[in-house]
Amino acid sequence: MKQNYKIRLLSFLIILLFAVVGHSQNSNVSSDQWTATDALSRKLPEASETGKPKQDKFIAIFYWTWHQGDDDTTYQVKNNTEIIRKFPEAMKDYHHPAWGTKQPGFFFWEQPLLGYYKTTDPWVLRKHAEMLADAKVDAVFFDCTNGSITWEKSYQALMVTWDKAQKDGVNVPKIAYMLPFGASQNALVSLRQLYRDVYKPGIYKNLWFIWKGKPCIMGYPDKLTNSDEDKEIAAFFTFRPGQPDYVNGPKRNDQWGWLENYPQHGYVKDENGKFEQLTVGVAQNASPSTKGHCSAFNLPGSYGRSFSQRKGFDPRVDGYLYGWNFQEQWDRAFEVEPELVFVTGWNEYIAGQWLPKDGWTGDPFSFVDQFDWNHSRDIEPNKGWGDKGDVYYMQLINNVRKFKGMIAQEKASAPKTIKIGKATGWADVAPDYKHYKGNTMQRYHRGRYDQYYTNKTGRNDITDAKVARDDKNIYFYVETADKLTPSKDRNWMMLFIDIDRNKATGWNGYDFIINRISPNSKKVIIEKNLGGRWDWETIGESKYSVNNNKLEIEIAKQLLNIAGNEIDMEFKWNDNMQETGNIMDFYVNGDTAPGGRFNFVYSTK
């Protein structure tokens, strides 16, 4: 009996060891070690500018899970921007055929980069998890403010996907719910349903957003009764009732805001005069005609993306790209320094069309929460802005880094000669650039209305990279979760190098590319960029080796214009890019490490 106990104990310890090792291999992905420059040439700050990580600073973002219904495949998705561009007269005519037959209707202000998706699509949810984790967002609050609908199918799909992502090493945001703005019967119904279905049974407890020691919920407890269940609910949560207004500020000392005009109020003041929470919005559907209170976004003078209370409207034709409103709101956050910044928002996209009889004053109709490129407030990258579709994502990351501080860049280890061929000799090489495994899943999922999406580009799952150098050469190492596919595959394991860390030189800053042309049996092809476009010229060949799931490349320094012993460069790996010449493809197809516009930094300085 004692021997069996020892065997069971030993087995448990072995399992625990493997769990710890497996977790540690994937839990140290840190976007603080990455850099990026957006399409407006704005470079993300690094630790030398932001300072060290600050204690007790949190970022939450408003997230929409209600992209799930609409199974009528005969109905076509309607895009406001496309309609207004093609039929400007439609804005004066409720009966214009461009609006379609379902009126009042629901429209998209623009197409998300990942398509007109449903929030039950695991492929989309996984990409959201990574993008939000890379932006260092701590929590998402689901929009359950309308009626008593909590969008169960979507939050269930999200929890399944994000739980797996967390196990794959993604520091996924924790989840919470925003219930109706008031102590209504609908709010009570939602509160009880979520408690019974999610919180009481402990469903995906690892994903709950904990605030002040308890699961956080933006809801009103006022309607709870003295029943046993309601008493449990009252004691279970940290309640932060939502204040809907953009002007009035908190009306009770436990409220949080979700969107306000500048200068935003602080919410929940402590004994030291500090505030718990403050809102930061991309734009506000408010206007002078309503004295800053909520109104339709298509009213004249609305506080869109290009509006600043201090500077007025950005006069540039593309002023909506530069985020005056968003930045002004962030400036207020730096001034107040709350514990938590609540950002609105990530992925609403739907522009509801409402008539005067619905209580809105737009003529002949109102687009209330979203309208067009300027009058919208989504940060999730979109397709309509081309290579500028992620400028608000980059602006978010810029400010989050300043608000939360950063871990300093890890310096390169001492010079070392690597013998290409057996993938040995890398153990003591630093930095070790970890990246997420498990994100090369294929996509087969219904989108909204008549849309259906497939994506089978996930192929080699990039999980690790390193760089070494000696007097003559620089060495690159990359590792994938499984055995590498044949090197003759199209766009196989491409290495992008920004040798001077200058976006003005090369294609989006990348001066050299390796493996754009498939390697031969012994050599990889090195190409240099010509003129900043997707135009490359072969300048040499170099040794490489594939060993199961490991690829090594040796390149002479002189080929990369490296003179002397110091190196300060950026690089990234990509497998199976589809739309060559479009940097936004890094968010969508194949696998990219690091994701999207990010680069790893290798520096001996």
Structure tokens at 585: 């493809």
pLDDT by residue (tens digit) across 224-260?
999 999 999 999 999 999 999 999 999 999 999 999 9
pLDDT by residue (tens digit) across 430-439?
999 999 999 9
Q: How would residue 358 be classed by pLDDT, with cut points 50, 70 and 90?
A: confident
- pLDDT value at 74 more than 80: no
Structure tokens at 171: 């520091």
Residue labelled with tokens 């869109």: 304
pLDDT by residue (tens digit) across 458-468?
999 999 999 99
Structure tokens at 46: 């690094």
Spell out the domains of the chain, with CATH numbers in brackets: 53-71+98-404 (3.20.20), 433-603 (no CATH)
DSSP letter (8 states) at residue 479: E
What is the per-residue burial (b if ≥16 Cβ within 10 Å, else e) of 158-192? Answer: bbebbbbbbbbbbbbbbbbbbbbbeebebbbbbbb
pLDDT by residue (tens digit) across 25-34?
345 899 999 9
pLDDT by residue (tens digit) across 269-320?
999 999 999 999 999 999 999 999 999 999 999 999 999 999 999 999 999 9
Structure tokens at 534: 């997707």
**Amino acid code (one letter) for 189:** V
Q: Which residues pair with 367 in a beta bridge?
A: 353
Burial class of residue 17, CB neighbours in 10 A (0-12, 13-18, 19+): exposed
pLDDT by residue (tens digit) across 544-572?
999 999 999 999 999 999 988 899 999 99
C-alpha angle with apex 101: 154 to 298, nearest 5 degrees?
A: 75
Q: CA–CA separation, 551 vs 483, rounded Å? A: 10
Residue labelled with tokens 């999980």: 463
> Read out DSSP for 28-75?
---GGGEE-B-TT-PBPP-HHHH-SPPTT-EEEEEE---TT----TTS
- Identify the helix (H) or strand (E) that includes residue 161: helix 152-167
Return the pLDDT at 70: 66
Phi, psi of 557 (to 5 degrees): -55, -40
> Read out DSSP for 388-448?
GTTHHHHHHHHHHHHHH--PPPPPP-------TTS--S-TT-S--EE--SS----EEEE-S
Predicted TM-score (pTM) of this structure: 0.94
Q: Which residues pair with 340 in a beta bridge?
A: 58, 277
Integer CA distances (angstroms), 325 to 40, 276, 287, 346, in order = 17, 22, 13, 16
pLDDT by residue (tens digit) across 82-130?
999 999 999 999 999 999 877 667 899 999 999 999 999 999 999 999 9
Q: Could you tell me how far CA 61 lies from the centroid of its own chain?
A: 10
